[in-house]
Amino acid sequence: MPHTPGIDPRPLTGEPPALDLLNTRWIGPEGYHDLLETPEGLAIWLAAPTVRELTGPYEPPADAATLDRLLRVRAALDGLVAGGDPPPEGAVKALNEVLSHGQVRRILGPDGTPRTRVDVDDATWAPAWHAAENWLELLAGRPERIRPCANNACILHFYDISKNGTRRWCSMAGCGNRAKAQRHYARRSGA
């Protein structure tokens, strides 16, 4: 489905980059959508604030190489969010392969302060590497807060930052309200 240039059509944005990448696919009233099926969609995702913050000076191009690398990470993340203990070997291997194209370096800045710099093989690896690295950060923090939406018809994921950790829906305005309406209808109809 074509997207309006420059406008992010996704129903859920602003999640941590790894989950934001997973959320480039969604199911809407018109059916299944994939933002990364077109170069325009890739450009929209690369321009998202959470992505631009991470890729910084690299300015990755919205081209076939960048897209291929992002799709590799997204496929690995699909396997990892599906769960399993231990996680699927193929997904682990794929994520580690992407991570092998970059590294975190500690440097001393020109002003004498310590800094961290990420070096990647080339700019086309930057978004994929940062999404994979972000996944590791989420796992090192609160992995139990990585959740799928409780709506079985929804394929979105979120990182629960609520105080008590009980968020269930990708958004209250979307899936949460639909669930409330369904419960209300079931009570009123006696079902």
CATH number at residue 142: 1.10.3300.10
- pLDDT exceeds 70 at position 190: no
Domain assignment of residue 173, yes or no: yes
Total domain count for the chain? 1
Domain assignment of residue 63, yes or no: yes
DSSP state of 62: S
Domain assignment of residue 74, yes or no: yes
Strand pairing class (102-108; 114-120): antiparallel
Domain assignment of residue 137, yes or no: yes
* Domain that includes residue 57, residue range: 17-189
Domain assignment of residue 106, yes or no: yes
Domain assignment of residue 111, yes or no: yes
pLDDT at position 57 is: 77
- pLDDT exceeds 90 at position 110: yes
Domain assignment of residue 95, yes or no: yes
ω into 86 cis (within 30 of 0): yes
Amino acid identity at 13: T
Domain assignment of residue 1, yes or no: no
- pLDDT exceeds 80 at position 86: yes
pLDDT category of residue 184 using cuts at 50, 70 and 90: very low
